[in-house]
Amino acid sequence: MLPRTATPSGEVQLRYPDIDGVSNARLQQWLALVLQDLDWQRIALPPLPQGLDEFAVEPTGLLRAMHVPNDVAEHEHARRHFAVREAVALFAAVEKARRARAVRPARPFPVEPALAARIRARIPLQLTADQEAAVQLLWQKLAGPAAMGVLLQGDVGTGKTAVAIAAALAVLARGASVAFLAPTELLAEQHWQNVARWLAGSGVDVVLHTAQQQSAPRTDKPALVFGTHALLTSGAPLGKLGLVVVDEQHRFGVQQRMALVHKGDNPHVLVMTATPIPRTLALVLFGDLDVAVLQQRPPGRRSARAFHVATDDWPRAVRSIARAVKRRGRVFVVCPAVGEDGEKGGVVRMQEVLQQRFRCGLVHGRMKPLERQAMLAAFRDGQLDVLVGTTVLEVGVDVPDAVLMVVAAADRFGIATLHQLRGRVGRGTRRGLCLLCGPRTERIAAVCRTTDGFALAEADLALRGSGELLGTAQSGFGELRALDPVEDLELLRRVRQAVATDGGAR
């Protein structure tokens, strides 16, 4: 006979996650039965690393306290114990990966002073101190003997692409290919076009390989190949792969990244993100990687401020568009949907309305690549004043004369997307402005409050939680039951140190 209830009669009332077809009351009955009939003598938890001795206690009381605690303090004591064990398991995997990478031989790509000078001459930018430090780190790691593994975090507009190309040229100069994986065709196309201009006349093959468009290498020599998921296919022209660059790494699952890495003979790896990763998640997800951070912006480039515009105050946004156009600035207008069938919030309808007053173009993911490229070129060259689009405009679009970003139905976008969209304007000598239109939400308030992408990443984590922020399948947090990556930061740091000292063998 099942016990009537597993709910304690004290101050703690537990609520378990919903399970389809099982009521919470029935689940508590089953748990009570298990706790009642469990053979406690057969339960043995593995030892914890040195330095965590205070958590090495007898498991019987801990399991009871997790489900039928007498008070909050007893439950929290048990939760912290199991949080430590979950953290140990996570960091043991991270430490194992770090040590495995450290002992795997990889082809070295040293950069002597003459090659460094040639590479710098090919990058048409004055590097910031942060960029210079990142380049030096990458060149040092590329020289071996182990395979490089670096996470490059850079807020929007800090110049990650230039740093990545400095690393890529070091590899190409030694006769190996480089794969540059981008999350969208638009971003891959933009990278391909820009870098091809940088390297014109250098003899380097700069190739595009997406599902919709492919440019074949001129020869069978090493190439710099920009692409999307199509790079994961067998037909991608990667040659002797020496370096894998993954841009906007949070858009890809771990398995996708590793599939590309396995195409080469233990290539060096650089993962980049313009969506700063909260320190708690970076600690776990990328604990096996060296980290470089770009926070400085090129001289004269300032962050665009964001302001909220209420739903019924849309005419204010239109007046701002008119002012920007009158001052010879370009304007982005972003909507959450294509809306070809009359869907509310669609770019098709928005473009129809705005083109009655402005020279207005349209871009979205359903367009053919050549049409999309032509529209962007017309906007960049000044043939269009306003470009209406979906979030295909979120990353990689670089139009120096763009000074205003208007986001319609901004409440339907996340913090990271809003921050990225803001980063599309003010990339020239004039400061940008971003208007977030729609109901005021906590996310919109956070973006209006600060331009610091790292602070926004922490706010995003607090609002959404770790699993939703990066996707549980990618983040590794999908199976956590006791550990809270937001609240348990100090615990994470302590466990990480203990596992590293212990050797990460568990």
CA distances from 80 to 74, 336, 457, 492 (A): 10, 41, 25, 11
Task: Using pLDDT thresholds of 50, 70 and 90, give the confidence band for residue 444.
Answer: very high
* pLDDT at site 279: 62
3-state SS class at 95: helix
In angstroms, the CA 321 to CA 454 distance is 29
The pLDDT tens digits of the residues spanning 109-168 come to: 999 999 999 999 999 888 999 999 999 999 999 998 888 889 898 877 788 899 999 999
Task: Using pLDDT thresholds of 50, 70 and 90, give the confidence band for residue 270.
Answer: very high
Q: Which fold has domain 113-294?
A: Rossmann fold (3.40.50)
Please give the angle made by the CA atoms of 330, 332 and 338, to the nearest 5 degrees.
145
Quick one: DSSP state of residue 2?
A: -
The pLDDT tens digits of the residues spanning 290-346 come to: 888 888 877 766 778 999 999 999 999 999 999 999 999 999 999 988 876 545 558
Domains 113-294 and 305-466 share a fold: yes
> May I ask the CATH class of domain 305-466?
alpha beta
pLDDT at position 437 over 70: yes
- Domain boundaries of the chain, sorted by first residue: 24-103, 113-294, 305-466
* pLDDT at site 344: 56
More confident residue, 463 or 272: 272
Its pTM surpasses 0.75: no
Q: Are the C-beta atoms of 499 and 92 separated by less than 8 Å? A: yes
